[in-house]
Amino acid sequence: MIIRWTQQRAWIQRALTSIVALAGACAVLAPGVAFAGGFSAPVRLPRFPEGEYAWSFAVNDRGQALAAADNRVYPVSPTGRLGRPWTFVAPDGGPEGITSLALDDQGRVAIGLSYNDLSEVPEIAEHNSTCCWHAAVASWELGTGAPVVQDLEPAGGQTSRNDEAQLGPEVAIGPTALTALWTEGGSSEAHLEEASGAPSEPLHEHQLTSAANGIQAIHLTLSPGGDPLAAWRLDTDEIATVKGSTSGKLPNPPPPQKAPGFTQDKGQQQEPPVTGEFSSDPQGDTLFTYLTGTFASRSR
């Protein structure tokens, strides 16, 4: 279900989350601040005949909100009702899965899309295997027409001939530019790709880095000034970060750093580490949280 919460203070609308977290925020966010508003009636979210999909949400300081699942993006009314969705279909007619959703205060929308063209490539495995994963980005402004979709190709124009699903694309909308971040390849060798440019216009791609043993997690956010900030974990225990400019482009990154305590000590019998998760706050600080099998650790 989705519940919409309204406030007199616009900045409170920056979070659209679960009922429990939202109710808890009332008690701890800011002592002495007077809150006016309340919860709308619950609205049941659609069920998809193909199966269940995770929902993602975006809300801006103008009170506009979007909800996305599978290959559909829905506008959300002030009462929490879902409007007619935008539906995204791959060139071969199959659905494109939405991997990320962004909505800025000007009403500009960007989403990351991923789909498999289901071609058969015999050299990938002993038997024919379905291939290949494609990354795409769609962007538009609410109330101004249809989304513009761009199929992103890795640097050099070669589609990744691999049946392993890519990571992303993750998207972020700065003051003047859109940035997308995704991977090509798989666990044997992966490439981290970036694309940037003005929203609703063709993006320019380039390769940020490569990893011989794959890239396990990626993260894209914005600094307080609107510059893109990217972070990713490659191989087993290395974290890399890079900051871009207002043009949306991410530069070549500095060398990665090892995450302390992430890998197991030799000779110890421990559970294998979990992938870990990235998150960021509005000040541009990024947190990577992970388990080693015996304790939790944090690395900023």
21 part of a folded domain: no
* Within a domain: 38: no
Distances from the Cα of 186 to the Cα of 2, 125, 180, angstroms:
35, 13, 19
In this predicted model, what pLDDT tens digit does every residue of 116-152 receive, in sequence order? 887 766 655 555 566 788 899 999 999 887 898 998 8
Lowest-pLDDT range of 17-31, 55-69, 136-150, 283-297: 17-31
Closest-CA residue to 91 (of 70, 117, 110, 119): 117
| pLDDT number for residue 48 | 75
Domain containing residue 151:
88-260
Give the C-alpha separation, 296 to 276, whole Å. Answer: 10
In a domain, 65, yes or no: no
| pLDDT 10s digits, 143-163 | 887 898 998 875 555 555 566
- Amino acid occupying residue 281: D
| Single pTM value for the model | 0.78
Q: What is the per-residue pLDDT for 193?
A: 93
DSSP 8-state symbol, 189: S
User: Structurally, how many domains does the chain consist of?
Assistant: 1
Two tokens, residue 282: 């509005």
pLDDT at position 119? 75
Rounded distance, CA 212 to CA 165, Å? Answer: 17
For 17-49, write each residue's pLDDT tens digit. Answer: 332 333 333 333 444 455 567 777 888 888 876
pLDDT band at 262 (very low <50, low <70, confident <90, very high): low
135 occurs within a structural domain: yes
Q: Which among 182, 269, 162 is positioned nearest to 230, based on CA atoms?
A: 182
Asked if residues 186 and 237 have their Cβ atoms less than 8 Å apart, the reply is no
82 in any annotated domain: no
Residue 298 covered by a domain: no
The answer to whether residue 180 sits within a structural domain is: yes
Provide the pLDDT for residue 276: 73
Query: Would residue 204 count as lying in a domain?
Result: yes
163-212, pLDDT tens digit by residue? Answer: 677 899 999 999 999 999 999 887 778 899 999 999 888 999 999 998 88
